[in-house]
Amino acid sequence: MKNELIKHVRENLAQYEAKVLNAIEPYNYEKERYDIDFAIAVGATFDDVDMASFSQAVRLTDTFVSLDKNVCGVVFAFNDTENGIKAASNLLNKFEMKFFSNKIYLGIISSEDETVPEKQVKKLFETLLYGIEQGMHNLPLDYQHIAH
């Protein structure tokens, strides 16, 4: 099942990246203009879970990005790396409470880690795929943890 999820993400990667790039556009503007950091998280599960239900769990200042039924992203406004991990952990706890036995893989990157939007998104999905490959489910995996 792990390999199926990896294949699914890779097959849809260009579409996912385009949606996330579009969603982070205003946040990148704020980063460039006012030096306000943000974090992006992307989650994937191979279980039959409708990730769109988490759109109600994000703060009003954040942006939920529906990528497909089992893959979604969230842009956390006003967050550096540390606070982005905390925000992603809070969402992960809500996921675990709602879908007790399901596994979710979660990749995170902050605007502190990478300032070029296209590279941010590439590194974000690298982190997600690394977590899936390594079986690192139900924990927020930050890009800094996998950077070589």
pLDDT for 104-126, tens place per residue? Answer: 899 999 999 999 999 999 999 99
User: How much is the average pLDDT of 130-144?
Assistant: 93
3-class DSSP state of 14:
helix
Domain extents in the chain: 2-143
Provide the pLDDT for residue 125: 98
Provide the pLDDT for residue 144: 87
Q: Which helix (H) or strand (E) holds 19?
A: helix 13-34
Q: Which of the four pLDDT bands, split at 50, 70 and 90, describes residue 148? A: low
Provide the pLDDT for residue 17: 98
How does the average pLDDT of the chain come out, rounded? 90
Phi, psi of 94 (to 5 degrees): -65, -40
Q: Give per-residue pLDDT as tens, 66-80.
A: 999 889 999 999 988
Class at the top of the CATH hierarchy for domain 2-143? alpha beta
Q: Give per-residue pLDDT as tens, 23-64.
A: 999 999 999 999 999 999 999 998 877 777 778 888 889 999
Within 8 A by CB and 6+ apart from 67, the residues are 12, 15, 16, 19, 20, 42, 73
Pair 118, 87: CB distance under 8 Å = no
